[in-house]
């Protein structure tokens, strides 16, 4: 019992005993006087007296908790085995993400990518079960990261196990911090911002480790440079919790330490709270004493140890849950990108096939431009096949409706006219003039089919939605991309091989049967080109 409470106890007890003696004596005299005339009333008075004394004693003992049972201390074994529960909502979302990823993996045709994603999803699942806190020490190679890790290991309370792994990704240690009911894995990551190909690879590995960690210790040895500030911002943007550590403070005067520390807090105030900017000295410089003896000061990392303990005790569960959710989301996004690339490749194969099929039909039986769009450039069957690639089953009527709608858009935007002008100009420099008229519609049909197909890819990618700008904006963007010189030259080269050459003999026969074509006046270069064909 506290000394003050003990003093009050004895004073109160003395007063109560004195009052009780006075009360008993007074009531005893009253009892003697009443008992001669009313014995029953006297006995009732005694009972009331006894009850009153009992109530006073009970109240007194109750206040000082003298009858309260002492709580048994929690068994050390139970404390050691205690595992706090992660926030339910976040873990449920993460678990749902992992189930979705496992379903997506089955759709991936690339076996290597499929295996990688499956292994990573299993690793994330294992983290649900282990629930270990991962702390990454991140920064440039010259900031003293390794010295800081060594100093932390020497200062932290609890057992330090052997190195878990020594690779090019750094060293990882398993720690037990007093007051934190989870195991802590602390990793010394490779240095960032190093020159050369090897430096770039180490930088990439360090950022990957930092992204996978629950908490970052970002180490600097001076004011924060822009090259260091940028990765800190990038990690903060994806939700990474960080402590900013100003190391090597022993090389600065006290006033400079304070100045640099204040600058750091000001620069990162929108990312990191002032309490999370910590000044330490992990590997102090040797000091020569007056007698010439060399003195080695002790590392001073206790400010970081204390702050690390506070953060992990208060936020450990949330940090772990947030990171598990982040990792499942990142993996899900990666799986979606792979599937998206796979679908786009399959859809482009469909477009490639139909553009030359349509070109061949038009080359044999030339039609007016508008009819050509309805039958070839925007082909309903192509629309249905692209839809199936993206998991959208549409019937023939819907396919025709979409094809006609896009064909009218091509005409109204002047895409058809623009395509004819672009291709005619290039075809005139690549084939004989008498073949240009026959080739232009077939090649243009293939070109417009490609624009239409690319537009439908965007339509199905966005769940059968043309977007805010509607079909017009999508078509214009695809036409803009298809007008690039490099693409047009390659496209015309393929068109000559797949359209012009196969149908050259058919057009030659038509030329011989048409007297008007035979009377055309040719220039010498055109005639030589014609003879070559």
State pLDDT tens for residues 220-230: 999 999 999 99
pLDDT at 476: 93
Measured between alpha carbons, how far is 217 from 209 in angstroms, rounded to an integer? 12
DSSP letter string over 310-334?
A: HHHHHHHHHHHHHHHHHHHHHHHHH
64 pLDDT band, cuts 50/70/90, is low
Instruction: Write down the mean pLDDT value for the chain.
Output: 79
Least confident of 90-104, 368-382, 470-484: 368-382
User: CB under 8 Å to 200, separation ≥6 — which residues?
Assistant: 194
Residue range 55-67: mean pLDDT, rounded: 63
Among residues 208, 151, 204, 213, the alpha carbon closest in space to that of 185 is found at 213
Among residues 412, 413, 387, 389, the alpha carbon closest in space to that of 398 is found at 387
Residue range 194-202: mean pLDDT, rounded: 85
334 burial class (0-12, 13-18, 19+ CB within 10 angstroms)?
A: middle
Query: Higher model confidence: residue 407 or residue 436?
Result: 407
Cα 87 to its chain centre, rounded Å, is 18
For residue range 399-417, what is the model confidence (pLDDT) as tens digits?
888 988 888 888 888 988 8
Residue range 87-97: mean pLDDT, rounded: 75
Measured between alpha carbons, how far is 133 from 127 in angstroms, rounded to an integer? 9
Measured between alpha carbons, how far is 143 from 306 in angstroms, rounded to an integer? 21
For residue range 324-349, what is the model confidence (pLDDT) as tens digits?
888 888 888 888 899 999 999 999 99
Least confident of 173-187, 271-285, 462-476: 173-187
Residue range 53-82: mean pLDDT, rounded: 53
> Percent of the chain at pLDDT above 70?
77
Say if residues 443 and 359 touch (Cβ distance below 8 Å): yes
Strands (E), 114-214: 133-139, 165-167, 170-175, 184-188
Q: Where are the domains of the chain?
A: 3-63, 132-315, 365-532
Return the CATH fold of 132-315.
Rossmann fold (3.40.50)
**Alpha-carbon distance values, 244 to 58, 138, 181, 258, 303 (Å):** 57, 10, 24, 15, 12
**H helices within 64-87, ranges in order?**
76-81
Among residues 281, 274, 320, the alpha carbon closest in space to that of 298 is found at 281
User: CB under 8 Å to 386, separation ≥6 — which residues?
Assistant: 347, 350, 351, 453, 456, 457, 460
H or E segment to which residue 490 belongs: helix 485-495
459 pLDDT band, cuts 50/70/90, is very high
- Which phi and psi angles does 138 have, rounded to 5°? -125, 145
pLDDT above 80 (res 481) = yes
| Assigned token pair, 160 | 């330090």
Residue range 516-533: mean pLDDT, rounded: 42
Residue range 16-36: mean pLDDT, rounded: 70
User: Around 472, how many Cα atoms within 13 Å sit in the side-chain half-sphere?
Assistant: 5
| CB environment 405-440: b (16+ within 10 A), e (fewer) | ebbebbeeeebbeebbebbeebbeebbbbbbbebbb
pTM for the model stands at 0.64
308 pLDDT band, cuts 50/70/90, is very high
- Which phi and psi angles does 280 have, rounded to 5°? -140, 170
432 pLDDT band, cuts 50/70/90, is low
* Residues constituting the chain: 533
* Residue 512 three-state SS: helix
Query: Higher model confidence: residue 268 or residue 80?
Result: 268
Own/partner contacts of 497-500, CB < 8 Å, gap of 24 or more, are: 498/356, 498/359, 499/356, 499/359, 499/360, 499/363, 499/439, 499/442, 499/443, 499/446, 500/431, 500/435, 500/439, 500/442, 500/443
For residue range 310-323, what is the model confidence (pLDDT) as tens digits?
999 988 888 888 88
Measured between alpha carbons, how far is 86 from 131 in angstroms, rounded to an integer? 9
Measured between alpha carbons, how far is 466 from 475 in angstroms, rounded to an integer? 10
């Amino acid at each position: 019992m506290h000394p003050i409470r003990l003093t009050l106890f004895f004073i109160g007890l003395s007063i109560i005993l004195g009052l009780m003696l006075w009360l008993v004596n007074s009531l005893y005299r009253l009892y003697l006087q009443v008992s001669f005339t009313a014995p029953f009333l006297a006995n009732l008075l005694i009972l009331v007296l006894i009850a009153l004394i009992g109530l006073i004693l009970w109240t007194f003992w109750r206040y000082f908790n003298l009858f309260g049972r002492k709580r048994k201390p929690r068994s050390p074994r139970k404390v050691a085995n205690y595992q706090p529960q992660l926030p339910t909502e976040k873990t449920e979302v993460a678990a749902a993400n992992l189930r979705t990823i496992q379903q997506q993996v089955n759709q991936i045709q690339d076996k290597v990518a499929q295996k990688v994603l499956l292994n990573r999803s299993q690793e994330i699942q294992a983290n649900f079960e282990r629930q270990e806190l991962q702390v990454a020490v991140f920064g440039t190679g010259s900031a003293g990261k390794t010295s800081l890790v060594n100093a932390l290991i020497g200062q932290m309370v609890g057992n330090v196990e052997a190195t878990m792994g020594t690779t090019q990704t750094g060293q990882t240690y398993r720690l037990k911090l007093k007051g934190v009911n989870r195991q802590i894995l602390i990793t010394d990551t490779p240095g960032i911002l190093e020159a050369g190909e090897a430096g770039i690879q180490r930088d990439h590995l360090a950022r990957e480790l930092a992204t996978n960690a629950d908490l970052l210790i970002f180490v600097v040895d001076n004011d924060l440079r822009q090259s260091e500030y940028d990765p800190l911002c990038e990690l903060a943007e994806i939700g990474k919790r960080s402590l900013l550590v100003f190391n090597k403070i022993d090389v600065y005067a006290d006033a400079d330490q304070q100045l640099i520390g204040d600058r750091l807090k000001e620069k990162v105030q929108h990312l990191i709270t002032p309490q999370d900017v910590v000044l330490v000295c992990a590997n102090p410089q040797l000091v020569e004493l007056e007698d010439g003896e060399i003195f080695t000061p002790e590392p001073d990392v206790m400010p970081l140890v204390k702050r690390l303990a506070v953060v992990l005790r208060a936020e450990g569960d949330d940090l772990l849950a947030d990171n598990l959710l982040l990792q499942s989301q990142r993996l899900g996004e990666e799986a979606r990108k792979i599937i998206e690339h796979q679908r786009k490749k399959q859809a482009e194969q469909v477009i490639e096939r139909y553009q030359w099929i349509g070109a061949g039909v038009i080359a044999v039986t030339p039609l007016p431009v508008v009819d050509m769009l309805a039958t070839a450039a925007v082909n309903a069957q192509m629309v249905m096949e692209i839809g199936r690639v993206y998991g959208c089953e549409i019937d023939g009527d819907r396919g025709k409706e979409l094809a006609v709608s896009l064909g009218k858009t091509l005409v109204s935007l002047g895409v058809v006219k623009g395509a004819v002008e672009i291709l005619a100009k290039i075809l005139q420099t690549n084939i004989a003039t008498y073949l240009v008229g026959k080739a232009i519609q077939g090649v243009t049909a293939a070109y417009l089919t490609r624009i239409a197909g690319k537009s439908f890819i965007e339509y199905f990618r966005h769940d059968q939605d043309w977007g805010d700008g509607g079909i017009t904006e999508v078509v214009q963007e695809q036409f803009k991309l298809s007008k690039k010189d490099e693409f047009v030259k390659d496209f015309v080269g393929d068109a000559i091989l797949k359209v012009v050459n196969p149908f050259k003999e058919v057009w030659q026969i038509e030329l011989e049967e048409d007297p008007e074509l035979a009377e055309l006046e040719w220039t010498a270069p055109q005639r030589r080109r014609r003879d070559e064909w």
